C-alpha cells in the first residue's frame, strides 16, 4: 500500500476520532445538564408535593379521594377531625359518614361523579352519631381504569349559627326601628285617640246632667201617679209641665240617642287605633306565614293617619280577592310605614296650596301580587335615583330622616320575600313605587 494512502487514511481516522470524542463530550455535557435539570425538577416536584400535602393536611375542609366503589383512597387530617378518625380512614366506605337520608346521594355521586361547579347540601355524622350540616363539592378525575371522585366537605354548623344570630339581630333591629317609628308618631297617635275620647267625655258629662234632670222629672211623674185622685190635679199637672220644661224633655229625646251613637263611634275609633298599633308593633314570628296584604295596608294607614291627614288624602283601591302571600307580617308593616311616611313627607315638601294625594292599590296575577303606592309629592331628583336604597342616604333635612327606610324596604322586598321594587318619579309631579311579591315565596 502506498504510504501516502496509508497516511491519508490514518489522518481521516484521527479526525473522525477527534470529532467523535468532541461529540461524546458535548452529549455528555448535555446529558449532565439534562440530568441536573431533571434533578431540579424532581426537587421542585417534591417540594410542591410537600406543599400540597401540607395544604391538604392543614386546610379546614375535609378532603377525600374515593374510588368508584365508594372506598376512601385518601383522607386528610381535617376529615378525621370532622368525621372521626375511626370512620374517615383509608380503605373504608365513604357512605356511612353521612346521615341515612343522604346516603343515596353520596352513593350516586361516588358512582357517577358531580359537576365541577355544583355544591351539595348534605348531613354528615359525628363520631357519636350526631348529624351536622355539610356543603360538599364533588369533582370527577379520569384515570386509566375509570375515574375517582374528590370530595371537599365544609362544616356549615358555625356559619348556620352565625346566620341565625344575624337574622335575630336583623329582626331585633327591624323591631327597634318600628318602635322608633311609633315613638315618632306617638304625638299624632295620642291626638288621634284624644279626639274621640274628648267627645266621649263630653257626651258622658251630658248624659250625667241629663240623668239628673230626668231624675227630677221622674220624681214628679211618680208623685202625679200617686196623686191621681187628689183634688189639686191642676197644681200637680203644672208641676209636671214645669219639670218637663226644666228637663227640656224634647231636647233630651232628640239628643240622647245620637249621644249614645257618637260615644259608641268614638270608642270604636279608639279600638281601631289601639288594635292597629298593637298589630303594627307586634314583633311577629321569624318564620314565614300567610299575610293579608290588604289588612297590613289598612293597619299601617290607621297608625300613620296623623302623618298624612293634614297634607294629603289617602285613597285605597284594594283587590278584595287578593290572595295571601308568604312572609312576615311585621316586615310588610315596616315596608308600608316607610312608603306612606315618605309619600307624606314628599307632599309636605311640595308645599301645595291644596291637599295632595296618596293612592295605594293592589292586584294579583297568576304568580304574584302587585302593590303600587303613588304620591303627588316633590318627586326624586334623577341624580339621586341610584342611591335611594343605600343605607343612611337621605335628602331630608336633619332630624326628619335617617336614610334607613328605603334601604330596609329594599332588603325586605328583594332578599327576604324574593320580590322586586321599581320606582317611577318626576320632579314636581310625584313618585310611584311598584312592588311585585311572588305567591310561591319560601
Residue bearing cell 331628583: 381
Are 59-155 and 286-442 in the same CATH fold?
Answer: no
Listed residue (79, 85, 142, 147) closest to 110, CA to CA: 147
In the chain, domain spans: 1-58, 59-155, 163-283, 286-442
Grid coordinates given for 183? 315613638
Superfamily of domain 59-155: PAS domain (3.30.450.20)
- Looking at domain 286-442, its CATH architecture is 2-Layer Sandwich (3.30)
How do residues 307-362 score in pLDDT, each as one tens digit? Answer: 888 899 999 999 999 999 988 877 888 888 889 988 998 898 887 778 899 999 99
Listed residue (87, 77, 88, 79) closest to 53, CA to CA: 77
Helix axes 293-303, 157-226, angle to 10 degrees: 70
The reported pLDDT for the residue numbered 316 is: 95
The reported pLDDT for the residue numbered 114 is: 65
The reported pLDDT for the residue numbered 399 is: 47
The reported pLDDT for the residue numbered 130 is: 85
Task: List CB contacts of 110: < 8 A, sequence separation 6 or more.
Answer: 66, 67, 68, 69, 70, 94, 95, 149
Q: Which residues of the chain have pLDDT under 50?
A: 398-399
Amino acid at each position: 500500500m502506498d504510504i501516502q494512502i496509508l497516511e491519508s487514511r490514518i489522518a481521516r481516522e484521527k479526525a473522525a476520532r477527534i470529532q467523535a470524542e468532541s461529540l461524546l463530550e458535548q452529549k455528555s455535557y448535555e446529558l449532565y445538564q439534562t440530568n441536573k435539570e431533571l434533578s431540579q425538577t424532581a426537587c421542585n416536584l417534591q417540594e410542591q408535593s410537600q406543599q400540597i400535602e401540607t395544604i391538604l393536611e392543614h386546610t379546614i375542609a375535609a378532603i377525600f379521594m374515593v374510588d368508584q366503589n365508594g372506598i376512601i383512597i385518601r383522607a386528610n387530617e381535617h376529615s378525621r377531625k370532622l368525621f372521626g378518625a375511626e370512620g374517615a380512614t383509608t380503605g373504608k366506605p365513604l357512605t356511612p359518614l353521612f346521615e341515612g337520608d343522604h346516603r343515596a346521594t353520596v352513593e350516586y355521586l361516588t358512582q357517577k361523579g358531580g359537576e365541577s361547579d355544583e355544591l351539595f347540601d348534605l348531613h354528615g355524622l359525628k363520631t357519636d352519631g350526631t348529624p351536622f350540616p355539610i356543603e360538599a363539592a364533588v369533582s370527577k378525575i379520569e384515570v386509566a381504569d375509570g375515574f375517582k371522585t374528590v370530595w371537599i366537605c365544609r362544616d356549615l354548623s358555625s356559619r348556620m349559627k352565625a346566620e341565625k344570630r344575624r337574622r335575630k339581630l336583623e329582626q331585633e333591629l327591624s323591631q327597634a326601628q318600628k318602635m322608633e317609628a311609633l315613638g315618632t308618631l306617638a304625638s299624632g297617635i295620642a291626638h288621634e285617640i284624644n279626639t274621640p275620647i274628648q267627645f266621649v267625655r263630653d257626651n258622658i258629662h251630658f248624659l250625667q246632667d241629663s240623668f239628673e234632670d230626668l231624675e227630677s222629672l221622674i220624681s214628679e211623674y211618680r208623685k202625679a201617679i200617686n196623686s191621681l185622685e187628689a183634688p189639686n190635679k191642676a197644681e200637680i199637672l203644672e208641676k209636671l209641665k214645669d219639670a218637663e220644661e226644666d228637663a227640656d224633655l224634647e231636647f233630651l229625646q232628640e239628643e240622647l240617642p245620637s249621644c249614645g251613637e257618637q260615644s259608641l263611634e268614638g270608642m270604636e275609633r279608639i279600638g281601631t287605633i289601639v288594635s292597629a298599633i298593637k298589630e303594627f308593633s307586634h314583633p311577629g314570628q321569624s318564620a314565614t306565614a300567610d299575610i293579608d296584604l290588604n289588612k297590613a295596608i289598612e293597619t299601617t294607614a290607621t297608625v300613620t293617619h296623623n302623618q298624612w291627614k293634614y297634607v294629603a288624602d289617602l285613597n285605597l283601591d284594594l283587590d278584595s280577592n287578593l290572595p295571601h302571600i308568604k312572609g312576615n307580617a311585621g316586615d310588610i308593616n315596616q315596608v308600608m310605614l316607610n312608603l306612606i311616611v315618605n309619600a307624606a313627607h314628599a307632599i309636605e315638601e311640595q308645599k301645595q296650596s291644596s291637599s295632595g294625594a296618596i293612592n295605594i292599590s293592589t292586584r294579583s296575577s297568576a304568580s304574584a301580587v302587585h302593590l303600587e303606592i303613588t304620591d303627588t309629592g316633590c318627586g326624586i331628583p334623577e341624580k339621586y335615583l341610584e342611591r335611594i336604597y343605600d343605607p343612611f342616604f337621605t335628602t331630608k333635612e336633619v332630624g326628619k330622616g335617617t336614610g334607613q327606610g328605603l334601604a330596609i324596604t329594599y332588603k325586605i322586598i328583594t332578599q327576604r320575600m324574593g320580590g322586586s321594587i321599581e320606582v317611577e318619579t318626576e320632579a314636581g309631579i310625584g313618585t310611584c313605587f311598584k312592588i311585585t311579591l311572588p305567591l310561591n315565596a319560601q
